[in-house]
Amino acid sequence: MASEIRVRFAPSPTGYLHIGGARTALFNWLFTRHHGGKFVLRIEDTDRTRNIEEAMAAICDGLQWLGLNWDEGPHIGGDFGPYLQSERTELYESYLKKLQDGGHIFEDQGALRFRSPREHVIVDDLVCGKIDFDLSNEQTHPDMTIRRPDGSWIFHFVNVIDDMEMKISHVIRGEDHLSNTPKHIEIFRALGAMPPHYAHIPLILNKDGSKMSKRDEGASVEYYIKRGYLPAAVRNYLCLLGWSPKDNREKINIEEIIRLFDLNNVGRSQATFDPDKLHWLNGEYARELSDSEFYALALTKLKSSGVKIDNYPEQYIQSALQTCKGKINTFDKLLAYCGFYFTDDFDYNPEGVAKHFTAENKPRLEAVRDAFSALQRFDAETTLKTTAANLGVKVGAIVHPTRLAVSGSNIGPSLYHLLEVLGKEKVLARIDRALSKFF
């Protein structure tokens, strides 16, 4: 059976890769990887008014970012190409002639329509179960157009022809296509071909129950790429939208998901997209990155954020970023968390200024500066604890104004570690800057 499994992901390049489309591609990919079959990428670009090359590139880039490599398709080729519908016109013409010769086509105001046999069509769906579609009423199920008056093809026709010609064994797609399936089966039958097995997976909803649309924030894969999410985390989360390993686990590596993936474990109920859960899951993956993986990703993000990395020694950058590892869930938060390492001209958190730059804290901050100034070997932790004891206060009383003075923030990496990274000269200069600015 494994050699017979062929599935396809067939997006239209009319926008960027939608998160729902990515989940559909993922389920197809998992199914064929589980069975050892072939995953085909086919671009349905018959709508000449809407397709854009940039969108096709975004689809390919998004799939590659998620690690969903295709076995046949654009940039790779294969035995059943071409894989862009715009390049398959001659094939569609030949099948149109077959339908015309069989009396299945009629013309209506310049458009070509498929004459429905007006019957019940049973769809035995691998997810939704057996469904009886009654297509006998012409008023509720009119004969479908397969070619527009301008000569362009309609999705229903070319979709069927391509599935047939590419020997697709299973069509796994969103539940919103379920109502199209009996129409497609009618075309298969008219051509004397066996339709593939169908599996319609549940739609993805927003937390408020509305259908996720392209206009929603977080609806495109590009959004997660730009925010610095990890592809493994996004892929893992998308697996859980409609499928379950049946043991309540949420973090599962891709090799095990491939081993466990079964269409029998795809639920019927619609899946709810929870950005908070994805954010949490991404943090779990981020904490498992090796030092070298984290450093490479963080360095890339800093450069894309405009930080002039070349102005700093590599050891300084590595030490600074090491204090951030395991502290951020997504890399788009990195600059806000540690940007102070790479500029002396940072702003100060207003709430922190009001709370910690007080008259009471001025002599404490001066004492910290004097203690650091006297050091031959810079030991931040011991010096702060000793200074606090000499002042008769808890160490927290000087930690907070010191952190604010050297970083501009109330939160961030461990103060002792960040002071060591900055070094004596920078720390003294930043404390002096705060004292002159606010006291």
Catalytic residues: 214
Phi, psi of 299 (to 5 degrees): -65, -45
What is the C-alpha radius of gyration for the chain, rounded to an integer number of angstroms? 30
Around 417, how many Cα atoms within 13 Å sit in the side-chain half-sphere?
A: 12
> Residue 334 burial (CB < 10 Å; 0-12/13-18/19+)?
buried
**How far, in Å, CA of 398 to CA of 364, rounded?**
6
Q: Quickly count: other Cβ atoms within 10 Å of residue 145's Cβ.
A: 16
Structure tokens belonging to residue 274: 């929870």
What lies within 8 Å, CB to CB, of 205 at 6+ separation is 211, 212, 270, 271, 272, 273
Distance CA 99, CA 7 (A): 25
Residue 376 CA: distances (Å) to CA of 110, 293, 373: 90, 35, 8
Contact between residue 343 and residue 422 where contact means Cβ atoms under 8 Å apart: no
**Cα–Cα nearest to 99, from 195, 192, 194, 196:** 192
The token duo for 227 is 């925010």
Strand residues in 155-283 grouped as ranges (E): 170-174, 197-201, 204-205, 271-272
